[in-house]
Amino acid sequence: MKRIGIYAKRNHPDALRLAQEIASWLQERGSEIYLEKGLAEAMGGDAAGYPGGSIPAMVNLIVVLGGDGTLISVARQIGDLRIPILGVNLGSLGFLTEITLQEVYPVLEQVLEGKFTVSSRMMLNAVVRRGGKEIGRYRVLNDVVINKGALARIIDMEASVDDSYLTTFKADGLIIATPTGSTAYNLAAGGPIVYPGLQCLIISPICPHMLTNRPIIVSDASVIRIEVKFQDEDVVFTADGQVGMPLRGGDVVEIKKSNASTLLIKSPTKDYFQVLRTKLRWGER
pLDDT, tens only, 59-112: 999 999 998 999 999 999 998 899 999 999 886 667 888 888 888 999 999 999
pLDDT, tens only, 196-221: 989 999 999 999 988 888 999 999 99
Which of 46, 68, 172, 220 is labelled catalytic? Answer: 68
Beta carbons of 17 and 88 less than 8 angstroms apart: no
pLDDT of residue 45: 65
* Spatial separation of the C-alpha atoms in residues 198 and 121, rounded to whole Å: 9
Domain positions in the chain are 3-117+266-280, 123-259
pLDDT of residue 210: 84
CATH 3.40.50.10330 fits 3-117+266-280, yes or no: yes
Beta carbons of 35 and 49 less than 8 angstroms apart: yes
User: Domain 123-259: which topology?
Assistant: Tumour Suppressor Smad4 (2.60.200)
Told to judge if 14 belongs to the known catalytic residues of this protein, a careful annotator would answer: no
> Model pTM?
0.91
pLDDT, tens only, 136-190: 999 999 999 999 876 667 889 999 999 999 999 999 999 999 999 999 999 999 9
Residue ranges with strand state E in the chain:
3-8, 32-36, 49-50, 61-66, 85-89, 118-130, 133-140, 143-148, 155-161, 164-171, 173-177, 200-206, 216-219, 223-229, 235-239, 243-247, 252-265
pLDDT, tens only, 217-237: 999 999 999 999 876 668 999
- Torsion of Cα atoms, 134 then 172 then 181 then 72, to 10°: 60
Alpha helices, DSSP H only, in the chain? 15-28, 37-43, 68-78, 104-112, 185-188, 272-280
Decide if 3-117+266-280 and 123-259 have a common fold: no
